């Protein structure tokens, strides 16, 4: 991977390698616009992990109509500059450069956070809100705020700035004919629609100096079929030429906007690495300045091919750097197999929307860098511990305990490690990304000399033979079955039995349970061509309730046009022969369906009895993941394994 670690330049700024951590809102900044210790630790970890350039998350420009998120960095308050300077110093100590991303959300901003909602033209946004059309006075004032912010960032020792002109935000709204219908100098031709950005480039350089880099992130196309005037790749190429001519030092090529239907702006797990690389190539071929390519990059090997094939000059690593802050260092030292790769589950987006800050399914430290910043305590001293269960929680715990110097034995009832990762990874070709977690954890286990015992359904008697001082129980959950007699019927199966190909399902199928597993089971059956029709019923009022929207849309689009019937608000009453009796929650009326096969996908419940059995025999039993709490997500299991193993005190 020679090209990935070559030096490069953006303007006069030398970058030590070709990996750029692209801007992503985290929710870690303070309400006052200062970087918190958590945010600084987050960036510092990625700098220490070897990334060449960090582009920070968004800086807001004003408090009247420029607030995109409650906790954004803000440079125009001079009191914030010392804190920002400390942040850049902590990044610079590792030889990593850092740009500040300057941003205005335009019509995507929320009224609850702003006094006004403004945009280039009065066109309703995705929520139906009508923004105010910006006057020339508004534009001039905003440009001044951009420039002043750049000056403040330079004072705080940032190495450059990036103007955010992508994803349907304000500068993108100026670029796109779908959102810019102005008739003055800021609308119409491509040069006019680019004018606000070209003026910003020139005015920032006039004040900060021609050697102060100004990069531009922009959507080269919007993937927006509902708006015929939205940006196409041909428009993106012309925009790139105009921005280069204006003096931009680099182009950070992205795509999409917030009208985008199918997740192109967020790229859930079905999107393959490099799925839009040809669009990046077209931009690069049109300009001579460096191009940063964000292309759903997961692995260093794939990143290297993008550089070798001339797709881009720098690799834009977004969620991959959240998943593993040491992504670059591991790649550079030949440890790619130890990288925790982004699986495209969108848990980071979901967390930001639901709890206000970014978390990660495969990286339990994400969002908690300020808490878990100290090195692991190496005080195991060969003490024996047992881990029961080789799923994500058990493997993570065994990995951390091994690193701490414990003598670890991991028991797994199946013939290979992975647990529910193997099950979930079998539902669709693109879900194989879940197996990446297993592979990385397994590589780490081998490195820490954890002893693995397969084909062993560990009991307290078996584990006792190993004489452990503590037992970590990570046995996963068990399917919730409303009536065990149902499974005695030949035409009734659990979803996991179908996914594992233990049951052959054909014909007219009814699935009870419309969570992710139920939906993905349906998708799998349609893909295999075995189901003539599928009906999915659930007592919840909305199919896919609790799923992040882009994940739900991604699953459903795979079944578009298939004979699929959805019955939300319908509770299972009974199963008799080939008839499924449902109760319609709205009026308690009965609905009867006929089915060749019935699949139960009603979630999991903890295996409390197994935990209690170990507690009777051992003084120190630590339940993990689904054995400890309500069965949930991979993220919860990984976090449990990490936190409980990290904090385990052998002297307590």
Residue 370 lies in a domain: no
Please give, one letter per residue, the 3-state secondary structure of 10-36.
ECCEEECCCEEECCCCCCCCCCCCCCC
Q: 452 lies in which domain range?
A: 384-479+605-647
Contact 566, 543 (CB under 8 A): yes
Tokens (6 digits) for 257: 């906007």
Q: Are residues 393 and 257 in the same domain?
A: no
- Active site annotation includes 169: yes
pLDDT (0 to 100) of residue 157: 98
Is residue 62 in a domain?
yes
Give yes or no for a contact between 83 and 38, defined as CB atoms under 8 angstroms apart: no
pLDDT at res. 607: 86
Q: Which of 419, 422, 427 is nearest to 396 (CA)?
A: 419
The CATH number covering residue 545 comes to 3.50.50.60
Nearest to 104 by CA among 148, 28, 31, 165: 165
Rounded to the nearest 10°, the torsion over CA 228, 230, 232, 238 is: 130
Do 251 and 110 lie in a common domain? yes
Shared domain for 598 and 609, answered yes or no, is: no
Q: Are residues 339 and 408 in the same domain?
A: no
Backbone angles phi, psi at 193, to 5 degrees: -70, -25
CA distance between the termini of the chain: 47
Q: Please tell me whether residues 639 and 576 are part of one structural domain.
A: no
Residues in the chain predicted with pLDDT less than 50, given as ranges, are none
Is residue 419 located within the same domain as residue 431?
yes
Q: Are residues 111 and 236 in the same domain?
A: yes
Q: What is the pLDDT of residue 631?
A: 62
Place of tokens 């609790």: 546
| Domain shared by 495 and 461, yes or no | no
Q: What is the CATH number of the domain that holds 39?
A: 3.20.20.70
CA distance 643 to 652: 16
Q: How far apart are CA 525 and CA 427, in angstroms?
A: 9
Alpha carbon 407 to chain centroid, angstroms: 34
> What is the reported pTM?
0.95
373 in any annotated domain: no
Residue 571 lies in a domain: yes
Using an 8 Å Cβ cutoff, are 255 and 221 in contact? yes
Q: Are residues 216 and 259 in the same domain?
A: yes
Q: What is the pLDDT of residue 651?
A: 86
Closest CA to 425 of 417, 413, 434, 437: 434
Do 159 and 201 lie in one domain? The reply is yes
Residue 363 maps to a domain: no
Indicate which residue of 169, 262, 347, 642 is catalytic: 169
Per-residue model confidence (pLDDT) at position 630: 65
CATH of the domain at 450: 3.40.50.720
Same domain assignment for residues 459 and 519: no
How many structural domains is the chain composed of? 3
pLDDT for residue 91:
98
Cα separation of 637 and 606, whole Å? 13
């Amino acid at each position: 991977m020679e090209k990935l670690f070559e030096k490069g330049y953006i303007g006069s700024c030398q970058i030590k390698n070709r990996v750029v951590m692209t801007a992503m809102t985290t929710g870690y900044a303070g309400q006052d616009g200062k970087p918190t210790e958590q945010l600084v630790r987050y960036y510092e970890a990625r700098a220490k992990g070897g990334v060449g350039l960090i582009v920070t998350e968004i800086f807001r420009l004003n408090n009247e109509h420029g607030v995109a998120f409650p906790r954004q960095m803000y440079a125009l308050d001079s009191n914030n500059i010392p804190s920002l300077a400390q942040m850049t110093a902590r990044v610079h100590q590792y030889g990593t450069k850092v740009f500040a991303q300057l941003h205005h959300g335009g019509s995507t901003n929320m009224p609850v956070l702003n006094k006004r909602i403004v945009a280039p033209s009065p066109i309703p946004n995705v929520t139906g809100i009508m923004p105010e059309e910006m006057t020339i006075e508004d534009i001039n004032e905003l440009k001044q705020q951009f420039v002043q912010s750049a000056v403040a960032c330079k004072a705080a020792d940032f190495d450059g700035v990036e103007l955010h002109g992508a994803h349907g935000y304000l500068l993108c709204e100026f670029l796109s004919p779908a959102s810019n219908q102005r008739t003055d100098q800021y609308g119409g031709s491509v040069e006019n629609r680019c004018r606000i950005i070209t003026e910003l480039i020139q005015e920032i350089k006039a004040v900060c100096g021609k050697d102060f880099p100004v990069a531009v992130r922009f959507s080269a196309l919007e993937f927006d079929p509902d708006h015929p005037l939205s940006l196409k790749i041909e428009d993106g190429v012309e925009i790139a030429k105009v921005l280069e001519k204006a003096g931009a030092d680099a182009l950070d090529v992205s795509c999409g906007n917030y009208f985008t239907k199918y997740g192109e702006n967020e790229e859930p797990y079905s999107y393959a690495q490099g799925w839009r690389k040809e669009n990046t190539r077209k931009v690069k071929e049109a300009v001579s300045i460096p191009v940063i390519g964000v292309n759903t990059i997961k692995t260093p090997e794939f990143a290297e091919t993008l550089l070798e094939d001339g797709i881009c000059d720098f690799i834009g690593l977004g969620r991959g750097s959240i998943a593993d802050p040491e992504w670059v260092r591991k790649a550079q030292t030949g440890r790619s197999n130890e990288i925790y790769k982004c699986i495209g589950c969108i848990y980071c987006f979901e967390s930001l929307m639901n709890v206000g800050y970014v978390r990660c399914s495969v990286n339990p430290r994400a969002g908690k860098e300020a808490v878990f910043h100290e090195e692991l305590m190496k005080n195991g001293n060969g003490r024996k511990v047992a881990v029961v269960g080789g799923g994500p929680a058990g493997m993570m715990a065994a990995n951390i305990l091994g690193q701490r110097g414990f003598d670890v034995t991991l028991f797994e009832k199946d013939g290979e490690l992975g647990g529910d990762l193997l099950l979930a990874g079998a539902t669709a070709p693109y879900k194989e990304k879940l197996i990446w977690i297993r592979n990385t954890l397994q590589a780490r286990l081998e490195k820490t000399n954890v002893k693995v015992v397969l084909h062993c359904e560990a009991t307290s008697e078996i584990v006792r033979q190993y004489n452990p001082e503590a037992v970590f129980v990570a046995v996963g959950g068990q399917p919730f079955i409303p009536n065990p007699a149902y499974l005695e019927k030949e035409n009734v199966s659990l979803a996991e039995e179908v996914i594992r190909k233990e049951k052959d399902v054909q014909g007219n199928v009814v699935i009870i349970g419309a969570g992710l597993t139920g939906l993905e089971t349906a998708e799998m059956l349609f893909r295999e061509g075995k189901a003539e029709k599928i009906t999915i019923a659930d007592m919840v009022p909305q199919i896919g309730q609790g799923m992040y929207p882009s994940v739900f849309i991604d699953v459903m689009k795979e079944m578009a046009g298939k004979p699929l019937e959805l019955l939300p608000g319908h509770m299972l009453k009974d199963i008799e022969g080939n008839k499924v009796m449902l109760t319609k929650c709205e009026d308690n009326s009965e609905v009867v369906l006929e089915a060749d096969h019935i699949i139960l996908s009603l979630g999991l419940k903890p295996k409390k009895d197994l935990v209690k059995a170990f507690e009777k025999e051992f003084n120190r039993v630590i339940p993990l993941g689904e054995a400890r709490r309500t069965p949930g997500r991979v993220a919860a299991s990984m976090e449990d394994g990490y936190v409980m193993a990290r904090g385990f005190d052998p002297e307590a």
